[in-house]
Structure 1
Amino acid sequence: MDILVFVIVFAALLTGFATIEIRIARTDRRTARVEHKLDLILDHLGLREAEPWRGEVAELARTGRTIQAIKVYREATDAGLKEAKEAVDRIAAG
């Protein structure tokens, strides 16, 4: 009987965690869409967000220290690894 209760509780916890992860993923996607739209609006208006870290990232990327540039970018923006790599590549090219 104790094992049955344990299995039921464990299954309920797993279901709960899966539901939470799905909600977090959905919220992350919504947030990304909103951020993208805001970026488009800022670009359309010709406005730029102050980015004091941008110079440091550009300098690191131009001097071949891409990994450090990605690290600085991620710390400043909370971006994921792929997004940070792409952004550093764009900053270095521009």
Structure 2
Amino acid sequence: MAMIFAVAAAVLLLLSLQSRMSQAERRAARIEQKLDLVLGHLGLREEDPRLEEVAALLRDDKRIQAIKVYREVTGAGLAEAKNAVDRMA
């Protein structure tokens, strides 16, 4: 009986931690989006030589490879990278 209670408590703890992490990830994504808007408004760009590689891949119609390289360069998740590459296109 104690073992079942311990397992249930561990599962609830993991679910709670996962929920908090996803909230933090959503907040970070919103902050990054706002920062991108501010940089765009100021006419500034984040300079990274590999982003030129992403642009070249887009020009060659290699969208999936562009997304992969963008993820490598920025550490972005799949959805964020896809959105960023779509904006670059």
Task: Tell whether the structures are fold-level matches, with TM greater than 0.5.
Answer: yes
Alignment-mate amino acid for residue 5 of structure 1: A
CA RMSD of aligned residues (A): 1.5
Q: Residues 22-43 of structure 1: CA distance to partner in whole angstroms, max 9, x if unpaired?
A: 1101111111121122222222
The residue aligned with 1:33 is: 30
TM-superposed deviation, 1:8 = 0.4
Structure scoring higher RCO (CA < 8 A, sep ≥ 6) equals 1
Q: What TM-score comes out, normalization by structure 2 length?
A: 0.86
The residue aligned with 1:73 is: 70
- Which deviates more, 14-23 or 54-63? 54-63
Can you give the 5+ residue segments of structure 2 that lack an aligned partner in the other structure?
none
Question: Between the two proteins, what is the percent identity of the paired residues?
Answer: 52
What is the aligned residue count?
Answer: 89
The residue aligned with 1:9 is: 6
Q: What TM-score comes out, normalization by structure 1 length?
A: 0.82
TM-superposed deviation, 1:7 = 0.3
